[in-house]
């Protein structure tokens, strides 16, 4: 959530920045500023009434001591009138502040200066491409056919048990899933990230804190009886560990990693690009989260991008890194780098990771602060990244490592899988 101070100090700059995200913010910004001005006016009037009530209350005591009861009763009537006015003001202030909160959460995060304008994915900037070229055998199969051929994943059984987008992993397919999760977690903890195992159900306050609510409510699964949400990413519970926390100077950086299954409704997704593992409603993902002081967050972002790149390189797959344009940037992000793997059999790039800096946007919602050297509280910066999301990693791994004799397992995974080939 944008701060009121930022909106008051630089409304035109905020409007111009949000235009990079193709978001016309003028009407909302002007409404928020008007509501903020009214909030402050109501507060000033309320403070005056409270001060007058205190003065009159003190006067009543003096009059009673002097035996001037009739005058004291008249002053009590004045106090009662002031209290009634205060109650009216309080009701007005509550309504005003409710509308202010409803309006300000409609504003997305402002992009940083590195983000260029653009309409969508076609305007994203390619930052780097790496990994070996892929040479497939004749009649190479896409991963959903390979999964069927080697009995690794049963998509039809998932439909029977739950519905489309809920695959069942079997045999070496299930072992490969477990191996990837363990390898990713070990890779992250070796780099100084502390492993946590959070709940996969969160309350509305957690969804609000990281920006999934109210923006992405339609994309989340809701447990209706209790009002909980199935996590769309471990980012939500892990970042909310720090909700309503004030960190001290010596507690930075905070570096956490977690594995969770992730649940996304993906409403409106259809077509050839959602076949197999390309787009699921339930999938496994390992996440990294960092909490930083503002002056260190962009250096931390660079470290996270380098960390994810090193992890991707270790799998021996062809990849590229994109810096998202304004039109493809999420509601909450100030800047995002996407990692994609080349799916040779499909002839397309598959996104496997997003690494983002949210600056103070989430921290403002979370009331996540730190105490500076002068003892004042300031908002922290939050960052997170996929390290990594499994489905499309598995898709590229199966397709790009296909040979006439089977599918070769990357060397780094063999201690975790217990086998070096799927045949």
Burial code of 81-114, b = ≥16 C-beta within 10 A, e = fewer?
A: ebeeebeebeeebeebbeebeebbbbbbbbbbee
Query: 347 in the Ramachandran plot: left (φ > 0), alpha (ψ -120 to 50) or beta?
Result: left
Rounded mean pLDDT, 358-375:
96
Q: Helices 11-20 & 26-65, crossing angle to 10 degrees?
A: 140
Rounded mean pLDDT, 23-33:
98
Whether 193 shows a pLDDT value over 90: the answer reads yes
Rounded mean pLDDT, 321-345:
97
Local structure of residue 385 (DSSP, 8 states): E
Rounded mean pLDDT, 329-347:
96
- pLDDT score for 108: 97
Six-digit token pair at 37? Answer: 């001005």
* 128 — pLDDT class (breaks 50, 70, 90): very high
Strand ordering across the sheet containing 246-247: 246-247, 369-371, 377-379
- pLDDT score for 224: 86
- pLDDT score for 153: 98
214: cis peptide before it, omega within 30°?
A: yes
Which residue in this structure is represented by tokens 């960190």? 247
* 394 — pLDDT class (breaks 50, 70, 90): very high
Whether 56 shows a pLDDT value over 90: the answer reads no
Higher pLDDT, 74 or 212: 212
**390 touches 285 (CB < 8 A):** yes
Q: Please choose, from the candidates 397, 379, 413, the residue with its C-alpha nearest in 3D space to the C-alpha of residue 109.
A: 379
- pLDDT score for 23: 97
* 190 — pLDDT class (breaks 50, 70, 90): very high
- pLDDT score for 222: 94
- pLDDT score for 242: 98
Whether 110 shows a pLDDT value over 70: the answer reads yes
Range from 76-90, 249-263, 347-361 carrying the lowest mean pLDDT: 76-90
The model's pTM is: 0.92
Q: How far apart are CA 244 and CA 242, in angstroms?
A: 6
Whether 270 shows a pLDDT value over 60: the answer reads no
Whether 272 shows a pLDDT value over 60: the answer reads no
Encode pLDDT of 203-233 as tens digits: 999 999 999 998 777 889 999 899 999 999 9
- pLDDT score for 271: 55
- Looking at the chain, the whole-number percentage of residues with pLDDT higher than 90 is 83
- pLDDT score for 267: 61
- pLDDT score for 399: 96
> What rounded mean pLDDT belongs to the chain?
94
- pLDDT score for 266: 80
């Amino acid at each position: 959530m944008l701060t009121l101070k930022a909106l008051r100090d630089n409304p035109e700059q905020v409007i111009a920045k949000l235009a990079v995200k193709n978001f016309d913010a003028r009407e909302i910004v002007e409404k928020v500023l008007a509501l903020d001005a009214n909030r402050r006016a109501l507060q000033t009037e309320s403070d005056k009434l409270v001060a007058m009530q205190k003065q009159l209350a003190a006067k009543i005591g003096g009059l009673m001591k002097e035996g001037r009861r009739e005058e004291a009763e008249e002053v009590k009537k004045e106090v009662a009138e002031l209290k009634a006015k205060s109650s009216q003001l309080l009701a007005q202030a509550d309504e005003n502040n409710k509308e202010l909160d409803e309006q300000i959460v409609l504003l997305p995060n402002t992009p940083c200066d590195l983000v260029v304008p653009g309409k969508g994915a076609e305007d994203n900037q390619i930052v780097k491409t790496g990994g070996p070229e892929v040479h497939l055998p004749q009649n190479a199969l896409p991963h959903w056919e390979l999964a069927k051929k080697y009995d690794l994943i049963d998509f039809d059984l998932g439909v029977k048990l739950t519905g489309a987008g809920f695959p069942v992993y079997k045999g070496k397919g299930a072992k490969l899933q477990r191996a990837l999760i363990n390898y990713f977690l070990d890779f992250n903890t070796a780099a100084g990230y502390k492993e946590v195992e959070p709940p996969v159900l969160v309350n509305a306050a957690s969804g609000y804190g990281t920006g999934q609510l109210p923006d992405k409510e339609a994309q989340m699964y809701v447990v209706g009886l209790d009002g909980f949400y199935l996590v769309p990413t471990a980012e939500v519970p892990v970042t909310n560990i720090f909700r309503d926390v004030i960190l001290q100077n010596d507690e930075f950086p905070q570096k956490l990693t977690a594995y969770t299954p992730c649940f996304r409704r993906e409403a409106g997704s259809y077509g050839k690009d959602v076949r197999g593992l390309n787009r699921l409603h339930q999938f496994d993902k390992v996440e990294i989260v960092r909490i930083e002081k503002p002056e260190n967050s962009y250096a931390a972002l660079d470290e996270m991008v380098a960390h994810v790149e090193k992890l991707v390189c270790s799998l021996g797959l062809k990849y590229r890194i994109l810096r998202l344009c304004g039109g493809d940037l999420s509601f909450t992000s100030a800047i995002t780098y996407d990692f994609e793997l080349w799916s040779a059999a499909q002839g397309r790039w598959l996104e496997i990771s997003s690494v983002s800096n949210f600056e103070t946007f989430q921290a403002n919602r979370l009331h996540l602060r730190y105490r500076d050297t002068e003892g004042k509280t300031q908002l922290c910066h939050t960052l997170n990244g996929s390290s990594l999301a499994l489905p499309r990693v598995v898709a590229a791994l199966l397709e790009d490592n296909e040979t006439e004799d089977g599918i070769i397992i990357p060397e780094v995974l063999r201690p975790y899988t217990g086998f070096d080939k799927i045949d």
